[in-house]
Structure 1
Amino acid sequence: MMSEYLPQLTLDGLNEYISGRKNDCATLQVLDLKSIKEKAGDNSLTGKRYRLILSDGRHFFSSCVLGTDTVDLVKNDILKINSVIRLNHVDVCNAGVNSSRVILVVQDLTVVLSDCEKIGNPVQINDINIAHTRVDLLNVPISQTVSNVTQSGSTGATSSSGWQVDDIDNFGLLLTESLLNTTEICSISDLDSLRSRWVIKARVANKSYIREYSNANRNGKVFSAGLVDRTGEIELVAFDHVAEKFDTKLEIGKTYFITKANIVPANQRFNSFKHIYQMVLKINTIIHICEEQDNDDPADIFFNFIPIKEVALRENNTLCDIIGLVSSIDECKFFYNKYKQKYCVKRDIMITDEKASIILTLWEKQAEAFSNTPCSIIGIKGAKICDFRGKSLSSIDSTVIRSNLPKINRTIQLEALRQSSFENLNLASLTTMTQVKSSVATIEEVLAAEVDLMQHKSTEYFYVRGYCNVIDQDDAIYMCCPVEKCCKKLDDLESGSFFCKKCRTEQHAFKWAYALLCSIVDATGELNVCMFGNAAESLLDISADPFHQLKNCNTTNIQNIFMHGAAKILIFKIDSKVVEFNGRQKIQYICASVCGDLQDQRKRQ
């Protein structure tokens, strides 16, 4: 990054804080960020704390602590090492013998730039006379202090802590008297990370359901919402306990006053709203409903529709807005998500315009709540472009699906298309609909679909009814990693131990697992597949460990097991994908599961 593009830090800003003088909203850089180890037996409910090293470009100071209200910025990977921040509220505390040590407690901050390189060459701050350092709240001028509102509604002593009140439910009184008559109410288009104090009046245009998430760092909950006013739109996000607190306080279509949230740069790759920033709620964020709802001509979200055929030209994993007719709606389908380890719901709908059509996949509660009928006109904002079966769209949390669209030229054109027999038009589909469906297919149909599969390099699954003509007996089992859900083949170190390349650990034990090479045959052809785990056990009716014991002592029984597996007519669920082997691409077929054929069972009965 060129130095001329780096943010400007507040020189000597640290000296101002440490000396007890008010330096309103200094811009500093985080040089280091470490969690503070909890003491043994500490049962406090304050949660994890973090220690900071802050720099003003000239000096750095290591006795800084992050307040509990801002630790979510670290957990959500917004505040990190080298981030540039603006201090909105700092407590200066004296500690040590004779109050000889100063500690800065950062109670509120705004992340100006999350990812940055180190600015300047700061040195350790010089020792200064801190004997008279006072404990001051530096974030709000005295002229803007307000009275705390008690639970009984009476007014207590004044405080310089800004918006904090004893009873958050009485914020309406405080807001009406102290904020609405100030110049701090700003429009959404004017929000940025450099603005320290603001209040917006915005309407909730859409809101996602609260959901659980999991990543490499932690698990938690999250929800998002879209806020709009006359000037623009912005995405609102809340995590974990903050999400649980505000989830029920926001309703679609209602207008709210909002203040004291973090304004951080948005990832434009996954931001369906056009604002370059997003709003992240904090535990002390204040949201109050506006009593005068604008029902006559309310602000609405902005759509930037593109023709469906243009989706093919867009980059994968980006977002787009489309409008079209619902030409088909599938039923909700349940499937097991191996990453979430639970059953999930999805629904596919076909969207059509004058030139092309495409599949949009809805997930979870969006799929269950979809109530539009075929031939209805809908607009989709913020759909994710995928490469599944060519080109397709997928909904995300912030995706907006709108059917009550205003009467504009585009909706009038689609209304004329609906009146015509558009079902009979031979339109190009961006989503490849191969002949192999979730119903039982013949091997001839599977082999005919290989051309499309190689072209789009997508993953397909299908069902085949047949029997195993050949089962390779030589390497039917192998030694695999004993770690649950690993099953990677182990390398024998010839020292009584083994090495797993997937877990990257040395193991002193192993378990046996199946790896069968089979040839599935039906009346139309033959298909070579690989079969592992439960699928192989269902075919042979014996698990891998007793199979290994029989293999070493009784060859005849092993032959009978293979003959019994080959004699059964079964339904095989096959996954097909394009892989690279010895520099060449080929299609690999893996049997995911095996189930009995009901038709064959009835004949035998």
Structure 2
Amino acid sequence: MSTDLTQGICERLNFGDKDDEYLWGTKPTLQFLSIKKVVASAATNSPNNQGAPTTDRYRIIISDGVHFLQAMLATQLNHLVEEDRIGKNTIALIENMSCQHIMDKRLVILLSLRVLQRDAQKVGNPAPLLSQPTVDGPVTSIPVKTAPAPSTAAQTQNQQTDNQNPIYPITGLTPYQNNWRIKVRVVQKSDIRTYSNQRGDGRLFNVTLMDDSAEIKATAWNAMVEELYEKLQENRVYFISRARVNLAKKRFSTVQNDYELSLDRGVEIVECQDTDVPVIRYHFVKVAALQELQKEAICDVIGVVREVGDLSEIMTKNNKTAQKRDLKIVDDSEYDVRLTLWGKQAEQYSTPVDTVIAFKGVRVGDYQGRSLSLLSSGSVAVSPDIPEAHALKGWYVDGGAQTTFTSHSQAGLSSGSGGTINRNEMRTIFDVKEAQLGMSDKADFFSTRATIMHIKTDNLVYPACPTCNKKMTESHDGWRCEKCDRSYEKPEYRYIISMAVGDHTGQMWLSGFNEVGNILFGMTGNEFQDIRAQDEAKVNHIVHSATCNSYNFVCRASQQSFNDQNRVRYGIQRVQPLDYLSEMRNLVELLHSAWAQ
């Protein structure tokens, strides 16, 4: 089957008569240069659909090998993207399509298609369409509407830009193109940083740029730092041309793009005053759904700030100090999560609690189940004017503030999510000790199945600060936390667990914290302390009932120094009660595996 593209069709689709049944009834062969998910809410599109659910839509840049054009995939075809049946550079036969006019712009809608080649090489060097058709054919006699006369200021800007290169989408940039120009919004600007390598010392700063098609990272170096740092301001829009397009260094960037820009001498940057400019687009993940993401994943979240921690200072691995501040955010999925700000973002944070904040570009961690850390390339939007923020604020005011939220540490420990225990990689206690896990400079992680043999009852719970979880002391004015420098009427009792576990190969001591106790005893530390104050014998029965039970554990082995002697401490990261049906199925699969043959 031929996969030659239908050259010239993009120009005809863009300028042809929208009522031309022959044109829109053709079945062209096109290539998809990029596919990007956008979220459109029915509530934002029509005043009569308030509260309607959001629907994922996919924007596609289609190419005929000569020009490229923006199109949308009909929602009934979303499964083609979600099942990975179409992607970048896919060639397809468009069996049915239509057009819509949105804000005086024509948008091609792909209604039906047939994939000819899933993964293909990019065909030709397609360029964006100019304001007038240039090829002969059926469209030559079609009049083009003339825009209203611009104002004096707009006319001046148009005169400055009309003679320049055509505007490209970010997705259309490659290192092999010249004479391009992009119209982008500065989403984020980093601090000025210094570097040192074999070529000497220098300075740099980064900006994250975006348009309707994608995002891209741009870096200014040395002499250009002074020239551009004050010129490029966050949330403003610019025309940029004559920058160098390089392959992206993925380990130094979280922007999802194969290329990045270098703002060298000769780069041209002009601020744009148009109102039709790209806005920041978010791809929010619910706080509860963070369990489904892998560690180190990058995402966007929006939530209500529930708690604001103090500014603190830590020592990094490079023996440098760093400022940090922890926030606790919640959303209507009824989960909370800790989010850490760093550097200037931590120092300058002054937003009060109960405020809705959107965070773009946060990294997922696995501390106490799940945690978030705002990247240096990330951004913070306080009370943004977007539907998600208004809906979240309404929920919080209408009763959400009184919700009892679930922490990820509890959910992760109870279900094993956020790093499900792999039964095929279980280690025995003998294997753990024989491999000397935890004896190196780095911590080691392992999974094991063991039975609780003994739980130490001394200091099983402690009076913790409700804000920072540090141990509090009782004083004349209640319970005092030295770290927070404030007193409380009563503490929040939290577990601190030390227990011996064993399997058929040996025994080891494991340590865990509050979430472990919640699982083992089926009650909170406050409930445990209330029982202890009334009936010590009942407490002994609760602890005894927790022994002789088997669990799957995910543990962290690390070396610690005690009385000038090094020893390995095994800390519980996750604990999962045994599901005997799943365990049985796993054994059946093992018996039928190559290992058992």
TM-score, reference length from structure 1: 0.42
Q: Which structure is larger by alpha-carbon Rg, 1 or 2?
A: 1
TM-score, reference length from structure 2: 0.42
